[in-house]
Structure 1
């Protein structure tokens, strides 16, 4: 019994119930301007001399006129939804993820928002009115048996002057307050149930959110590819150079000196590469993407510091390749050289780059290692990144064992960069 009383008291007067009650009172405040307009319209029709007349016809007539005006107002202003959502999140106790974000973007969303605004304001006005009128009357009833002066001041009817009637007045006053709290709690619970329905995401909102997530994921994948191909290639080269230098540290000082110089040059270039990759994060801030990163024009430098002997055959004017295609082609070659260095060591690599009409073709071959390469946890992203780069330009790429060699081939449409 005691537990049931505590649960009931929390439901009627707990923090959540009080916040929802406040939410309803704010709804009543939102309806007030429309109610005033309603009194101007209804007043002459019912013969009221003032908009603050105690005529029930005026009060409820103005209420009936105010609701459709409020609905039309909410229908015409898309920003109504974010304001309503902010209030509902703070006061209704509904999880934030169940609400839609931003202004309405469709007619369906506007209709739902209008329905919510009308429901909130309509029920809130009734609870607000009751919250203003009932407590003073209930407190008066509670105090009637205690003060004869109060009974004379309120001019208590004769039938309430009987001792038994006076004894029941405090209970009636308390019952009124509990009933008001119960109505407020029930109305607040009703709004909390309807909030996700009327303020939740519509199909168009879900589609827009999915598109935003897809765009964000594409940008993350793009940055991951750039980091993997640029920094990963440099780290592979530095690791092999450092390992070779360590093996001859005491016997070949000149080789060690050359290896350290190569490591220094590689890391210096990698810092510039990293700056270019991080520059991708700032692309589009001014409304236009800025091309960053190396292109095929700097391919000779990549080959020179790749750490493997490379035989390059170029057919066509590579400088004429559009910059976006040239950037992606450079990264594909870089990742191919990195894979060859990582898995086949110092084995020679044959590289062909050719322009065929409106298409750039890249082919790389290197001998397969004597033993199977060590599979790194989380490895395999490089080949997948090459395929993604080619697909983004409308081309395709593939890599695998073929005729006792490892072959990487890619075809990139030149129009994919325009």
Structure 2
């Protein structure tokens, strides 16, 4: 019983009823202006009125602002629940105008039916209660004992009218979502925009993971070595490295937060040519030329680094230089985290139209892995490296080769190639 009565007592039902009745008002006004309510027969009158209504509604649909006005009204009175399902933008093309015309025609037809029933059924219910010979749907009922039960039909008619309004409002809402909502092209554009924003967020998250993760790894290793070493000179050097690493991490964090505040103006990491200030962002973010400082930090953390960088000056596009730095940084960070103190070998070179990156380190003996040197299992760092490589049109691989953990990345110099 509550399910049957709840829609009839809902304010939403009567807001939608008002929206439906507006369609009947439009039909009535047009009918009174032309062809009028006198003269031709009822059938001819309805045909003429339908033709005039159709012409007027189609002409109104040609006005771009009509789509916006109908969308605003539908949002207010149909109470869609999710307002984005009904658009409020002006018509942008003939497809929008056609859908607006169909909406107006459907709205007037459905509103005329429900509005007409809203007038006819209450009047019939009153006749059943008050008249000795009531008129039901245009038919006069003669006297008789059976008519004593006729007043009991009045609540049935009113109950049926209530549910007619409920279903009419639901149908009107479905029409609005279908005809006033975003077109398939607009839905696709919105989906692409959401995907682009998600990509930007993932890129920024990866940027934070790489830069802050590297800084924390170096800091932990240096602090632990200084605590266990007992050499004041070594401890002072470790504190210098921690200070410098923390300063660089703060710079990276500040740049990333600036991107989060306004990514459209700052340039998105990993997306070439994005943003008005992309050149400034390229200068601020570290590139291949900053690798020597990275290697010195690793050496200060206790891991010997043998590095060979064979990249001519200006040979790399800015995005490749920046992403190449982050890839090497993540490789060195992983080596420091999972095999602290083991030698690290890094090779960076330009060959055959591609940038080749290789980072290898000796695996720690199993007995030495209890102090943070657990084997790698393809965590966020390696996944981020693969994502960076794929976005640049390249590929990445990581695994054990001849007792060493080897990370190799190859990306084309020409983006999209």
TM category (shorter chain) comes to: 0.7 to 0.9
Among 270, 274, 297, which residue is 1:305 paired with?
Answer: 297
CA contact (8 A) 1:89 1:96 kept: no
Counterpart selection for 2:320 from 299, 302, 325: 325
What is the match of residue 264 of structure 1? Answer: 243
Q: Which moved more, 1:284-293 or 1:163-172?
A: 163-172
Q: Summarize the alignment of residues 14-413 of structure 1 with structure 2, pairs less than 5 Å apart.
A: 14-15=9-10, 18-29=11-22, 32-33=25-26, 36-37=29-30, 39-43=32-36, 47=39, 61-63=48-50, 65-67=52-54, 69-70=56-57, 73-74=60-61, 77=64, 80=67, 84=71, 87=74, 91=78, 96=82, 99=85, 114-131=101-118, 135=122, 177-191=158-172, 204=185, 207-248=188-229, 251-281=230-260, 282-285=262-265, 288=275, 290-291=277-278, 292=281, 293-306=285-298, 307=301, 308-356=303-351, 358-371=353-366, 373-374=373-374, 380-413=379-412
- Evaluate the alpha carbon distance shift between residue 165 and residue 399 of structure 1 in structure 2; reply closer, same or farther with a 3 A threshold: closer
Cα 1:245–1:89 shift into 2, 3 Å: farther
Distance 1:90 1:290, change over 3 A: farther
| Change beyond 3 A, Cα 1:85–1:96 | farther
402-411 vs 339-348, greater mean Cα deviation: 402-411
Q: Distance in 2 between matches of 1:173 and 1:400?
A: 81
Query: Residues 406 and 72 (structure 1 numbering): CA distance in 2 closer, same or farther, change over 3 Å?
Result: farther
Normalising by structure 1, we get a TM-score of 0.74
Equivalent-residue separation in structure 1 for 2:65 and 2:192 (angstroms): 21
Residue pair 2:71, 2:88 contacting (<8 A) in 1 also:
no
Distance 1:411 1:289, change over 3 A: farther
- Aligned equivalents of 1:408, 1:295: Cα separation in 2: 19
- Structure ranking higher on relative contact order (CA contacts 8 Å, 6+ apart): 1
- Whether the 8 Å CA contact 1:238–1:266 is kept in 2: the answer is yes
The CA deviation string for residues 168-206 of structure 1, in whole angstroms up to 9 with x for no partner, is: 886576565444334323433544666666667775566
Normalised TM-score (structure 2): 0.74
Retained in 1: the 8 A contact 2:350–2:356?
Answer: yes
Q: Any stretches of 5+ residues in structure 2 without a counterpart?
A: 133-139, 267-273
Cα RMSD (Å): 4.4
Instruction: Give the Cα–Cα distance (whole angstroms) in 2 for the partners of residues 410 and 7 of structure 1.
Output: 62
Aligned-residue offset at 1:35:
5.6
Q: Name the CA distance, whole Å, in 2 between partners of 1:351 and 1:56.
A: 89
CA contact (8 A) 1:70 1:118 kept: yes
Q: How many residues align?
A: 388
Question: What runs of 5+ residues in structure 1 fail to find an aligned partner?
Answer: 49-53, 146-158
Deviations 1:385-414 (A, max 9, x none): 112111111122222222222222222222
CA–CA distance in structure 2, aligned partners of residues 406 and 247 of structure 1: 27
